[in-house]
């Protein structure tokens, strides 16, 4: 990315980024709640009547709770987080998931707990990505500016939210095809695995 980027913190997506992809089967969830395949789940639920919203959220949260129970750290996630902590780089989480699910899933991590994160922004705390509001809120909690954050995520909404907030962005593909659409802003970096993400972050840190 362009020179002059002063990274003061790293903001990670959760599902499929810090956790192994696949625990949440979005296609199954969409079928269960009647959400069109080309529409995001939270946005679909928001369009429903108040009564239906409650029912559909209960269904969604049931799937999320089960996924959190079965989730495992993504390859390299614990090493990535530990390396940043040793370098005293503030770390945060930004997710469209619920706080309850995040807390449950983090219990599967070795040596990492919720209090190790300077910010945990869930859908209860801010409008969900691709809104940039969660990035701004995380930046405030991490005592830096949004443009001093690096947002790392495996889905196009992560990159869009980061770009809208003026942050640096890394798209994690987990070795699969990019989720970015042609009209989306381009991420600053594209990485197959978290080990590559760490290499980039350490290069940025040592160049400061």
Mean of per-residue pLDDT scores for the chain:
94
Q: Is 22 left (phi over 0), alpha (psi -120 to 50) or beta?
A: left
Residue 73 has pLDDT above 90, yes or no: yes
pLDDT single digits (tens) 6-24: 899 999 999 999 999 988 8
Residue 208 has pLDDT above 80, yes or no: no
Q: Where are the domains of the chain?
A: 9-21+72-207, 26-70
pLDDT at 207: 75
pTM of the model: 0.93
Q: Average the pLDDT over 55-84 and give the result.
A: 95
pLDDT at 23: 83
| Beta strands, E only, 67-166 | 91-94, 119-121, 149-153
Task: Among 3.20.20.100, 3.40.50.1000, 3.10.450.50, 3.40.50.300, name the CATH number for the domain at 9-21+72-207.
Answer: 3.40.50.1000
pLDDT at 153: 98
- The CA-CA-CA angle for residues 183, 44, 30, to 5°, reads 95
3-state secondary structure 18-68: CECCCCCCHHHHHHHHCCCCCCCHHHHHHCCCHHHHHHHHHHHHHHHHHHH
């Amino acid at each position: 990315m362009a020179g002059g980027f002063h990274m003061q913190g790293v903001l990670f997506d959760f599902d499929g980024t810090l956790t192994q992809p696949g625990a949440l089967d979005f296609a199954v969830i969409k079928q269960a709640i009647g959400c069109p395949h080309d529409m995001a789940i939270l946005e679909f639920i928001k369009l429903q009547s108040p009564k239906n919203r409650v029912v559909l959220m209960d269904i969604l949260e049931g799937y999320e709770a089960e996924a959190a129970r079965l989730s495992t750290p993504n390859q390299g996630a614990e090493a990535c987080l530990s390396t940043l902590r040793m370098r005293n780089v503030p770390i945060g989480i930004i997710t469209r998931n619920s706080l309850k699910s995040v807390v449950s899933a983090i219990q599967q991590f070795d040596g990492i707990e919720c209090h190790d994160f300077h910010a945990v922004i869930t859908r209860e705390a801010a409008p969900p990505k691709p809104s940039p509001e969660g990035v701004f809120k995380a930046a405030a909690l991490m005592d830096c500016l949004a443009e001093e954050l690096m947002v790392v995520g495996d889905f196009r909404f992560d990159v869009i939210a980061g770009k809208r907030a003026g942050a640096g962005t890394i798209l994690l593909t987990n070795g699969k095809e990019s989720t970015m659409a042609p009209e989306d802003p381009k991420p600053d970096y594209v990485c197959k695995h978290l080990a590559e993400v760490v290499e980039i972050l350490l290069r940025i840190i040592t160049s400061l």
